[in-house]
Structure formats: C-alpha cells, structure tokens
Amino acid sequence: MSSILVLVGLLVLAYLGSILVGGRAIRGYGLPSGAEWVLLGVVLGPHLLGVVERSTLALLEPVAQVALAWLALVIGVDYGFVGQRRISLRRLFAGVVLALGSGTGVAAAFAVYAQTFTGLRGHDLMVTCIGVGAVSCETTRYAVRWVVERYAAEGPLSSLVADMSEADDVIPLVAITLAFALVPTPGLKLSLPFWGVALSILGAGVLLGALASALLRVEARVTQTWGIVLGAALFGIGLATRLASSALGLLFALGITLSWLAGRRHELRAMLERTEHSVLLPVLVLAGAYVDFGAPSHLVPLVAVVLSARLAVKWTSGALLRLSRGGKRAGPLLGFGLLSSGGVAMGFGLAFAFRFPGEVGQTVLVVAAVVTLFGELVGPTSLRYALGRAGEIEAAPTSSRLGRRTSSRPPPRTA
C-alpha cells in the first residue's frame, strides 16, 4: 500500500478522532479507552487481515513517533492540573506513589513469569520489566473523563479519581526514559552512564522548554506561538532520536517546563487539546496494527500473570484510596475502577516496540494491548459502580432525545 495513501488514511483517522473525542455533540460515544480502535488496528494489521502491510507500517514509524512524543508534550503541559484546577501536592504525590507501586508490582510479577517461561535474561529482562511496569501502572484519564462526563458525576470521589489518573503519568514517562537510556547510544562520543543519558534527555527537554517559554513571554501572536511550540517539539524529538533515547521523556519535560515558565498554560492547553484528540486515534490504530500476539513466548501465562498482578495492585491502590476522605464512600470496587488503560499505555507500548524490535518490544506492546482490552471490560463499569455508591451519579442513567445517556440527577447548584 502506498505510504501517502496510508498517511491520508491516518489523517482521516485524525479527523475522526478530533470529531469523536473532541466534538461536543457526540462526546462520550465510543468505548471509554478507545479499545475499539486498538482492535481495528489489530484486525487491519499485518498479523491478521494484512490490509496494512508490515512495510507500510515501517514507513509510518516516524509519523507515529512524532505523534507519541506530541502526546507526551500535551501530558506535560497539562501535568498537575485537571482542567483549570490545580491538583494538590498531596494528591500528586499519592498518584505518583500509587503508580510507582502498581508498576513495580506488575513488573515484579512479570519478572517471575519471564524467568520461568521465557529466555529473557539480564539486560533484556530488565528493559522488558520496566516496559511492562510502565504500560501497566497508569489509569487512563480518557476513560475517567468519559465516565465522569457521560454520567455527569460530581463530588469528592470524581475529583479524587480524576486527580489520580492525571498524576500517575509521570511514572511511565520517566520509566521509558530510563529504559531507553539503558541501551548504549551508537556512535556517542561521550562516555555517560545510563542515568547520565536519561538526565541529559530530561535536561534537554527542560532547556528547550525554558527557551521556548522565554520566547513565548515576548511573543503574543498565535502563529508565532505555534511555530515556537511545534519547532521546539520537533527539534526535541530530533535530539532524542539522535541520542537513541526517549523523545517522550524529553517532550514531557519540555511540556512541564513550558507550563510552568511560559505563564500561558491555559492558552497552551487550549491550543494543544484539539491536536491531542486528532493524534490519539491514529496512535491507537497504529499501535493495534503493530501488535503481534504470536511474538511473546507462552501468551496465556503472560496474560494471566500480568492481569492477576494488575488486578491485585489496582485493588490495593483502591483500598488505599478508600482510606482518604474522597474515597471512603466508594465501596470495594474502586480499585477495579482504576483498571482502565488506553491511549497512553498503548502509546508507550508502541514506543517500546519501535525502540526494541523483537521479543522485548512486542512483549511490552502485547501487555499494553491486553491491559487496555481487559481494562475496558472492567474499569468503566467498576468506576461507575463506585461513583454511584458514593452518591455522585444516579445508579441508572436515562436516555436523552439524542440517545446520549445522562444522569437524571439535578445539576449542581452554582451559588
């Protein structure tokens, strides 16, 4: 298939993504995590129907890498906020710690599986463990937003879950940066330890962010603003790729720095939000097309181990959250409500598949896909149950004239 044709196909998907995810009229339709697009990719990809060939996927790799890094930039710009509201430091810390715990728990379980069933050892094993932990630790904010918006949920638990789903993104991004830095950069003229490479990448992101912020402080025109942000982002991707390191980590650092230093977070967020919608859908489809379920040895035990571990760590996270003021009325299924996974996990899995072609990358991507599909089945329903139990949504939503399901609860008082 011609690469231009596929590029146009991706643009059509971007268009659809923007309409479906961002369009006010039909926001909340489709599956919460976008898992149907992952499935579409799997079906169209070279491992099933073969509509999109392996060679075409290879041609699109740079586009996909830019899209992934762009998502990291958007996450960075928005990090620490839910909409206009700043997440408190305590919740930010809690979100980070829970994500770290979840990732470590699943990675440890995977390590046991890998020692038993696979030939992965040493360096490869460590990279794969980090990857599996990275794609398993987060709760996708898209699913949380979907449930909260669709059922018009409002209250302490909604706010708590939204905060957790936003705060946990930092862990996989740092993990990816470390994992990529573990592999020596070919042709590097400096002798740097892996943490030195990782710090250089994050530092370059901060430096570029600071430079872009300085420019944005003296430049008010919209087109110039776009030139600066897009230029800094692409330049950052180029630098990271040259060092064979993670562009996602660099752009995340760039995004956070921009958000802090430019003094125009709301404007930047508004600019980038629409592109996020456009980028997400093609990423999900491409990631799906890359998934090769035949690549990891012993798929069934892998799925069983990863899902059991994730269920356990998320249930524990939920139990811990129930100790807090916002979560105490949530009921026992709160932890399962945090199981939703989607765009970000698939994106990170795809980044691993690009960087480590073969068993390492494919195992991480397969885990991301499994976690996303399973999370879709359990996460939103459990979250809805928890929110209902906390009294933040009606138990049985009604259907509106357009078919959109909305809560029958009266709107909150604004005064």
Partner 1 sequence: MSELEASKSVTARLTQVVTLVAVFGLLWLAVRVVPESHGMGQLIGALGFLLLAGTLASELCEIVGLPHLTGYLAAGVVAGPHVLHLIDQRTVERLSIVNTLALALIALAGGAELRVRDLRALVKSLASAMLFQSLIVLAAGTLTFVLLARFMPFAASLSASGVLAVGLLWGVLAVSRSPSATLAILSQTRAQGPVARFTLAFVMASDVVVLVMLAVAMMFARQLLDPASQASYQDFEALGHELLGSASLGTTLGILLMLYLRFVGTELLVVLMALGYGLTEGLHYLRFDPLLTFLIAGFVVENFSDQGRKLLHGVQQTSAIVFVVFFASAGAHLDIPLLRSLWPLALALAATRALATWVAHRMSSRLVSDPPVIRRWGWSGLVSQAGLTLGLSLAIARTFPSFGDPLRSLTIAVVAVNEVLGPVLFKLALDRSGETAPGPGFTPSSEPV
Q: Which is nearer to partner 1, 152 or 254 (CB)?
A: 254
Q: CB of residue 61 vs partner 1: minimum separation in angstroms?
A: 7
Residues that bind partner 1 (CB under 8 A): 2, 4-5, 7-8, 11-12, 14-15, 18-19, 61-62, 65-66, 185-190, 204, 207-208, 211, 214-215, 217-224, 226-228, 230-243, 267, 270-271, 273-275, 278
Cα–Cα distances in Å, from 171 out to 174, 345, 372?
Answer: 5, 12, 18
- Residue 30 region by backbone torsions, left for phi larger than 0, else alpha for psi between -120 and 50, else beta: left
Beta bridge partner(s), residue 398: 406
352 and 183 Cβ atoms separated by less than 8 Å: no
CB-based contact 165:141 (threshold 8 Å): yes
* Rounded least distance, CB 217 to partner 1, Å: 8
Shortest distance in whole angstroms from residue 18 CB to partner 1? 5
What is the rounded CA–CA span in Å between residue 120 and residue 117?
Answer: 9
Name which of 38 and 208 has its Cβ closer to partner 1: 208
Structural element, H or E, at residue 85: strand 85-86
Token pair listed for 396: 């049985």
Tokens of 333: 């299924």
Shortest distance (Å) from residue 4 CB to partner 1: 4
Closer CB to partner 1, 59 or 320, in the complex: 59
Q: Cα angle vertex 268, ends 266, 270, to 5°? A: 70
- Quote the least distance from Cβ 31 to partner 1, whole Å: 22
| Least spacing, CB of residue 37 vs partner 1, in Å | 17
Q: Nearer to partner 1 by C-beta: 16 or 127?
A: 16
The nearest distance, CB 102 to partner 1, in angstroms, is 31
Q: Which is nearer to partner 1, 67 or 164 (CB)?
A: 67
Burial class of residue 323 (count of CB atoms within 10 Å of its CB; 0-12, 13-18, 19+): exposed
User: Could you give the angle at which helices 3-22 and 265-290 cross, rounded to 10 degrees?
Assistant: 130
Task: Decide whether 108 or 215 has the Cβ nearer to partner 1.
Answer: 215
Nearest residue (CB) to partner 1, 44 versus 271: 271
